[in-house]
Structure 1
Amino acid sequence: MQFTPPGSPASIQFGTDITSAAPGSAESMYLVVSDIDAARDELAAKGVEISETFHPEAPGSQFQPTGSEGRADGADRERASYGSFARFSDPDGNSYLLQEVTTRLPGRIDSTATSYASVNDLLEALKRVAVAHSEHEARNGGEYDNEWPVWYAAYMVAEQHGSELPR
């Protein structure tokens, strides 16, 4: 079986006779999600035994077992992209790390493409741009911006591409 997340250029395959690696030998494979809490809750609701959300306080501590030094409970305090995790294993014993990524680092995405993988991704982007646009209007005398759709579009594309954001 091949699984490709919506909007993703990457896929993962599961099945027999795909690899010579022993079952359970894959450790800490990253599965990137835009909302760690929603993804964790969805997996738990489907019966997956998954850790609580956590964040590393020491480099590499996300790879250590639950309860290890250097890991703190809950999502990253600032909800920084790349900073929050949850861990689970499949029935063969392979382990996975869910990692929350809300804004990609520059160079990590196709600079010519802009897409949102889910309604939640788009909703969260619209919330961020609405806050930024309110600040933009305030800096410009508090006047209503008739060109707000143009500003929103430029902001959302720049945010996804890791470019300088409009002010």
Structure 2
Amino acid sequence: MDFKLELIPVPVADIDRAKAFYTEQVGFRLDHDVRPGATVRVVQLTPPGSGCSIVLAEGLAGLAMPAGSLRGLHLVVANIAAARAELAGRGVAMGEIQDMGGIKFSAFKDPDGNTWTLQEIPGRQ
């Protein structure tokens, strides 16, 4: 039996600001931005090449978390130097590349303080 992780809620205070950050600066694809009710909004975004998306939501009690409380989401990349340079070129404040015994990392935060890490794993596609 497969268990595929396909959607991660990311808690934000301002959906429009977060949507702009993730699409314009980080390069995520906008899958949908819907308002199924007067007080409900759901925005789904997918990183390039990923089978897993993130969701920014308001008005859904089951997804309520303090804005900025998510830590350590990883985006696995083939070339961390190129990925870091691309994001930095789009205005994302990137941490330095750290080599942890062959696995490399570089961190950034979204406007609410949710933390992300680029990760390069040798030999992994």
State the TM bucket, normalised to the shorter chain: 0.5 to 0.7
Give 3-state SS (helix, strand or coil) of 2:58's partner.
coil
Corresponding residue to 1:3 among 45, 53, 62: 45
Q: 1:48 pairs with 72, 92, 109, which one?
A: 92
Superposition RMSD in Å: 2.0
Q: Which structure has the greater CA radius of gyration?
A: 1
Mapped partners of 2:57, 2:106: distance in 1: 24
Per-residue CA deviation, residues 46-72 of structure 1 (Å, 9 max, x unaligned), is: 11111111123xxxxxxxxxxxxxxxx
Find the partner of 1:36 among 63, 76, 80. 80
- Secondary structure (helix, strand or coil) at the match of 1:42 reads helix
Runs (5+) with no aligned partner, structure 1: 57-75, 105-159, 161-167
Which structure would you say has the larger RCO, counting Cα contacts within 8 Å and 6 or more residues apart?
2
More helix by share: 1
Cα separation, 2, equivalents of 1:87 and 1:4: 19
SS at match of 1:97: strand
Runs of 4+ in 1 over 6 A off after TM superposition: none
Check the 8 A contact 1:35/1:102 in 2, yes or no: no
Matched with 2:123 is 103
* Number of equivalenced pairs: 81
TM, length-normalised to structure 1: 0.43
Q: CA deviation at 1:4?
A: 2.3
**Structure 1 residues 93 and 9: CA distance shift in structure 2, 3 A:** same
- Segments of structure 2 that go 5 or more residues without pairing to the other structure are 1-42
Alpha-carbon shift at residue 31 of structure 1 (Å): 1.2
The residue number in structure 1 matching 2:71 is 27
> What's the CA shift for 1:16?
3.3
- Correspondence for 1:114: none
> How does the TM-score come out when normalised to structure 2?
0.56
Q: Tell me the CA shift for residue 6 of structure 1.
A: 3.8
Give 1:15 shift.
Answer: 4.1
